[in-house]
Structure 1
Amino acid sequence: MINSSQVSYFTFGAYFELGLLKYFVFVIIMSLYILILCSNLLLIVVICVNRSLHEPMYMFLCSLFVNELYGSTGLFPFLLLQILSDIHTVSASACFVQVFILNTYGNVEICNLAVMSYDRYLAICCPLQYNMHMTHNRTVILIALTWLYPFLAVIVLISLSASLQLCGNIINKVYCDNYSVVKLACSDTTVNNVYGMAFLIATVFFISLIFYSYITILKFCLFDSKQTRQKAVSTCTPHLASLLNFSFGALFEIVSSRFDMKHLPDMLRMFLSLYWLTCQPLFNPVLYGLNLTKIRITCKRLYSIQHPSVLITKSDYR
C-alpha cells in the first residue's frame, strides 16, 4: 500500500502516440492559448481604462475574464509540455497544484455566473431599486465571495485527497483531476465521497439559482412592454449561452470521469475532456465583446476602427 505522500510522480495514461503530428497539435494548442490570453486581456483592459464601464455588470465581467486567464494558465503550459514530452509524467506536488487551479477555476466560473444572473435580475425586474441594492461595496463583497468560497472549499478537497493511501500512480487523463487521484486510493474514501457529494450539491444549487433568476426575468418580461423584452433578450442571451456552454463541458467531464469512454476515438475523447477548459475562455470574450454595445464601441474607439465622435450610449442594461 502506497501513501500519497510517498508517491513522487503520476503517469498520464490517456496520451497516445502522435508521431510528427504532435508538433501540429502543439501549434494549434499554442495558438488557442495565445488567442485566449490576448482576447481576455483586451477586455480586462477595456473595462479597467474606461470609466463608463465601471459599473457592477462590467466589474463582474472583468472578474469572469480574470478567471478565464487563471484557468487557462493552469492548463495550457502544462498541456503543451506534455504534448512534446515522450514520458507523460508529473510530480505529485505539481499534480495537486493543477487539481487546485482547475477546481477553483470551475467553481469560480459558476459563482461568477450566479452573481451575474442576480445582477441582471435586479436590473430588469427591480430597476428602481437597482442602485440601492447593487452598491459599490456590495459589488466588491460579491466578487470577493465569488473567489473566496471556491478557494476555501477546494483547499479542503485537496487536503482530503492528499492524505489518502494510494495503490498506484497512473491517471487515465491528459491532466490531473481530483476524482482520478481518489480512484487510486487503497484507504477508505468515505469522507472524500461525502465531501465531494456536498461540493456537487452546492454547485447544482448555484446553477439552480441562475436558472431561477432567468426564469423569473422571463416571466416578468412576458407581462411588460416590448422594449423591456428586447432589452432582457439582448442582456441575458450572452449569460445563458455562456452557462449552457460551460455546463455542457462540465457535464461531459463528470460523465467521462465516471464511465468508460474507450469506445470513442482517442483524439475525440481528448478534445471532449478538454472542452470545458478551452471553449469557455475562447467563447466568453467573443460572446460578450460582440454582444455588449458598450464594450464593442469602446474597443473600436481604442483601436480607431470607428470614428472617435461616436458616443457610447447607456442603452445596454438599464
Structure 2
Amino acid sequence: MDNELNVTYITFDGHVELHKYRYLYFVIMFTAYILIICSNSTIVGIIVINKSLHEPMYIFIAALLINSLLFSTAIYPKLLIDFLSEKQIISYSACLFQWYIYYTLGGSEFFLLSVMAYDRYVSICKPLQYPTIMRKTTVHMFLILAWILPACQISGGPLMSVNTKLCYLILKGIICNSTVQKLHCVTSTVQNIYGLIVFVIAVPLPLLFILFTYTRILIIIYRSSREVRRKAAQTCLPHLLVLINFSCLSTYDVLVGRLETNFPKTVYLIMSLQVILYHPLFNPIIYGLKMKEIYKHLKRLFSQDKLN
C-alpha cells in the first residue's frame, strides 16, 4: 500500500517555510482569489448587462477575463488546501489534469490577445469594412476556437505522460506545469518535439501576428489626426500592457520547464506566485481603469452603491 502511494502521488517541494507561515500564505492567497473572482466578475457583468458594450472589443475583453477566472479556479483551491495541509501532495493523474488546464487556458489567453489585436487592426486600419468583417458569427467563431484549439493542441503532452514511468516523486514547485516531465525516468524525444511545436504555435506565432498588427496600427495613426491617435491609444495601450506582462511570465514558465536552473527555492516561489497572480488580478484593473467606456460604467455602479 505504501509503495502504491509513493508511485501514485507527487509531493510539491516549492513551498518556503510553510510550517511557519502557512496561515499567512493562506490569508494572502485567499484574499487574492476573492479579489480575482470579484474584479473579473464585475467587469464581465458590466459588459453583459450594458448593451452599449456588446461590441467585439468588449466581448473579447469579457472572454479574456472569464479565461482568467477559469485559470484561477484550476489553481487556487488546490493551492489553498496545500497551505493548510501537513503534506502537499497530489495524485499523478490530477497533476496531469492541472498541467493540461494550466497550458490550455494559457494558450487561450494568447489566442484571445491575438484576436483582440486583429479587432483593433480592422477597427483602426479598415474602419469602413469593420461591420462586414467583425460580424457576430465571426466573433462567435473566434471565441469557440479560442478554447477548442488550445485544448486540442495541449492534450498530446499529458496523454503521452499518462503511462510514463516516474523515477522522481518530488516536484520542484507549488503547481503542476511542464516541470512534471522532469519526474520521468526517460526523457521522451517525441514529447519534447511535440512540446516545442505546440509552444511555437501557441506563443511565438501569436506574438508575431500581434506585433505585425500593431506595427500596421502605428503606421496608420502616425499619419492620422490627434483625435484618432488619442482614441487608438485608449484602446490599444491596455492590450499592450496585458500582452507584455503575460508574455514575460510565459517566457519564464517555459524556460524553467526546459532548462536546468538552480535558483533558490524562494526565487522559484516568488516567480510562481507572480505567474498565477499577475494577469488574473491586474487584467480587470487595467481594462477597468484604462478603457473609458468600462470605467464610466464602473464609476456609475459604485456611485449608485454609495447612494444606496
1:68-79 aligned within 5 A:
68-79=68-79
Write the distance in 2 (CA, Å) between the matches of 1:307 and 1:281: 27
Q: In structure 2, what is the Cα distance between the partners aligned to 1:200 and 1:268?
A: 24
Structure 1 segment 226-241 matched on structure 2, within 5 A: 226-241=226-241
User: Partners of 1:54 and 1:106 in 2: how far apart?
Assistant: 25
1:143 aligns with 2:128: no
Q: Give distance in 1, aligned partners of 2:168 and 2:259.
A: 19
- 2:290 is aligned to 291
Q: Using the TM superposition, give the Cα deviation of residue 163 of structure 1 relative to its aligned residue in structure 2, in angstroms.
A: 3.1
Which residue of structure 1 lines up, in the alignment, with residue 179 of structure 2? 180
Give the AA of the match of 1:63. Answer: A
Paired position in structure 2 for 1:159: 159
Task: Tell me if structure 2 keeps the 8 A contact 1:252–1:273.
Answer: no
CA 1:188 to 1:22, structure 2 compared with 1: closer, same or farther past 3 Å? closer
In 2 relative to 1, CA 14–303 (structure 1 residues): closer, same or farther, beyond 3 Å? closer
Residue 23 of structure 1: CA displacement?
0.7
Deviation digits for residues 49-82 of structure 1 (CA, Å, limit 9, x no counterpart): 1111111111101110100000001111111111
Distance 1:172 1:37 in 2: 28
Q: Which residue is equivalent to 2:105? A: 105
2:83 aligned with 1:83: yes
For the Cα contact (< 8 Å) 2:43–2:62, is it kept in 1?
yes
CA distances 1:159-203 after superposition (whole Å, capped 9, x unpaired): 1122322222221111111x2222222245011011101011112
- The aligned amino acid for 1:200 is F
Deviations 1:226-284 (A, max 9, x none): 211111111100000000011111112222333455443x3332021231221001111
Alignment partners' CA distance in 2, 1:147 and 1:18: 35
Q: Equivalences for 1:210-225 in 2 at 5 Å?
A: 210-225=210-225
Helix, strand or coil at the partner of 1:7: helix
Structure 1: segments with no counterpart, 5+ residues: 309-318
> Distance in 2 between the 1:101 and 1:307 partners?
39
2:120 aligns with 120
Shift of 1:136: 0.5
AA aligned opposite 1:284: N
> Which amino acid in the other structure matches residue 269 of structure 2?
M
- TM-score w.r.t. the length of structure 1 is 0.90
Partner of 2:197: 198
Q: Within 2, Cα distance between the matches of 1:175 and 1:104?
A: 15
Summarize the Cα distance change of 1:306–1:13 in structure 2 as closer, same or farther, 3 Å threshold: closer
Identity of aligned residues (%): 36
Distance 2:145 2:272 in 1: 28
Structure 2 unaligned blocks of 5 or more: none
Question: Does 47-56 or 85-94 show the bigger shift?
Answer: 85-94
Structure 1 CA distance, aligned partners of 2:117 and 2:163?
A: 37
Deviation at 1:112, TM superposition (A): 0.6
Counterpart mapping for 1:28-39 below 5 A: 28-39=28-39
Partner Cα distance (1:218, 1:144) in 2: 29
- Alpha-carbon RMSD across the aligned residues, in angstroms, is 2.0
Q: Is the 8 A contact 1:99 1:176 kept in 2?
A: yes
User: 2:165–2:184: 8 Å Cα contact kept in structure 1?
Assistant: yes
Find out whether 1:64 has 2:54 as its counterpart.
no
1:281 aligns with 2:280: yes
> How far, CA to CA, are the matches of 1:115 and 1:225 in structure 2?
26
Q: Is residue 97–residue 158 contact of structure 2 (8 Å, CA) maintained in 1?
A: no
Distance in 2 separating the partners of 1:149 and 1:271: 31
Q: Say if 1:13 and 1:174, in contact at 8 Å, map to a contact too.
A: yes
Match of 1:208 in 2: 208
Is the aligned partner of 1:25 residue 2:25? yes
Contact 1:161 1:181 in 2 (8 A): no
What secondary structure does 2:303 align onto? coil
